[in-house]
Amino acid sequence: DTGVSQNPRHKITKRGQNVTFRCDPISEHNRLYWYRQTLGQGPEFLTYFQNEAQLEKSRLLSDRFSAERPKGSFSTLEIQRTEQGDSAMYLCASSTRPYGYTFGSGTRLTVV
Amino acid sequence: AQSVTQLDSHVSVSEGTPVLLRCNYSSSYSPSLFWYVQHPNKGLQLLLKYTSAATLVKGINGFEAEFKKSETSFHLTKPSAHMSDAAEYFCVLRREYGNKLVFGAGTILRVKS
């Protein structure tokens, strides 16, 4: 068990490009979460999966954002037509019960 | 709405002196509260959690926190700071419905030698 793995660690992209991030949760965890952390702020909830079902989405998740969790294993977060305001750390977490969150190290996105 | 407020954005202490990081919460129910620590380029690590059992909660690395309902507070303390404690600390509330965590803005702890 190597914990929650996120790739890539860093991503620099030009405005208007699409980017995709991947999260591999702890294998026995059925719940997976995405959070976004901007500079000087605490992480903010984006979306939540239980197995392959996306059960909740934040209003922060605009139409340009889409998340998937095929087969209830790894998850991807795609941002289309990136904007400078999308620059942030994107954190993934997994759990198997309400309190047992494990966070990954995050993907830092810079939009230039 | 449930929320948490961390009262200090930065705290600076000398090594070997006590640490106090302050957190107030707002909730219409008895919440579950957590403290997480984030070291640079590392993931968030759980320090401790309160889930309506004992009001004084002991965590890892000598940290503890006390849940005070009358003051709606959940302050984090440590008797003696170590250089390795320098990091950003987040007070976190678990929302009543669903599994969403609500984070405070964070407190950066600096430990001087």
pLDDT band of residue B99 (cuts 50, 70, 90) is confident
Question: Does A33 sit within 8 Å of B43, measured CB to CB?
Answer: no
Least-confidence region, from B13-17, B36-40, B83-87:
B36-40
* Banded model confidence at residue B41, pLDDT cuts 50, 70, 90: confident
- Among A56-60, B13-17, B45-49, B107-111, which stretch is predicted with the lowest mean pLDDT? A56-60
Distance, C-alpha A87 to centroid of its chain: 13
pLDDT at B113 over 90: yes
Confidence bin at B80 (pLDDT 50/70/90) = very high
Q: Are B41 and B108 in contact (CB under 8 A)?
A: no
| B99: enclosing H helix or E strand | none
- Rounded to a whole number of angstroms, the distance from the CA of A12 to the nearest CA of chain B is 16
Interface of A with B in 75-94 (CB under 8 A): 91, 93
CB B4 within 8 A of CB B23: yes
Q: What is the pLDDT of residue A98?
A: 61
Kindly indicate the confidence band of residue B83, based on its pLDDT and cuts at 50, 70 and 90: very high
How many whole angstroms separate alpha carbon A70 and alpha carbon A52? 6
Q: Which long-range contacts (CB under 8 A, 24 or more apart) does A48-56 make?
A: A48/B98, A48/B99, A48/B100, A49/A75, A55/B98, A56/B98, A56/B100
In the numeric block, the tokens 């003051």 are attached to: B71
Does residue A38 sit at the B interface (CB-CB below 8 Å)?
no
pLDDT of residue B27: 87
The pLDDT, as a whole number, for residue A99 is 62
Q: Which residue has the tokens 């490009």?
A: A17
pLDDT truncated to tens, each residue of chain A (112 aa)?
A: 569 999 999 999 999 999 999 999 998 899 999 999 998 889 999 999 999 999 989 988 889 999 999 988 999 999 999 999 999 999 999 998 766 789 999 999 999 9
Does residue B40 register a pLDDT over 90?
Answer: no
Contact: B105, A41; criterion CB under 8 Å: yes
Alpha helices per DSSP H over chain B = none
User: Which pLDDT tens digit goes with each residue over B18-33?
Assistant: 999 999 999 888 788 9
Instruction: List, in sequence order, every residue forming a beta bridge with B102; answer none if it has no partner.
Output: B93
